[in-house]
Amino acid sequence: MKNNLELPAYIEKTKRKKYKRQRERYGFSDYDCWDLDHYLLELIPSAIERLVEFSHSYSQRLWMFDTMTIRCDLSADEYKAELLKVAAELRKAHKLTDNAMTKEDMDKGKELLLHCFIWLGHNIGTLWD
């Protein structure tokens, strides 16, 4: 599982402690808010991957990413595969928007992000263990 949520080494020790305390208390820090798009696009896929890795149960009902239609007969393996697909697509969209060299790349990344967030909106109530 890829996770880039660690604080960079160049941050001085006292500020690192402050940001870690803020993350413990609030779930995010001032540092995270300064680059919120990056933080969320690292946090959400990592959280989805962790859910897949440690879940004990699953929802049989899920909007499918590719078709944006609902299925009510998913197996545990299908549910987990769908979640991993969305995590990968979020990472892909993040990479596209973060490294966009052309307007077309940026538009493609934004379109993929929108699709991912629509999927999240449809499925937010099924992301539990």
Give the pLDDT confidence score for residue 2 in this predicted structure.
43
3-state SS assignment for residue 6? coil
- H/E run at residue 112: helix 103-123
Residues 70, 22: Cα–Cα separation, whole Å? 38
Q: What is the pLDDT of residues 65-92, one digit of tens each?
A: 999 999 999 999 999 999 999 999 999 9
Q: What angle do CA 53, 58, 60 make, to 5 degrees?
A: 140
- H/E run at residue 77: helix 76-98
Residues 97, 106: Cα–Cα separation, whole Å? 5
Length of the chain: 129
Say if residue 100's pLDDT is above 50: yes
Say if residue 106's pLDDT is above 80: yes
Encoding tokens for residue 70? 């609902």
Residues 12, 125: Cα–Cα separation, whole Å? 39
Q: What is the residue extent of each domain of the chain?
A: 13-126
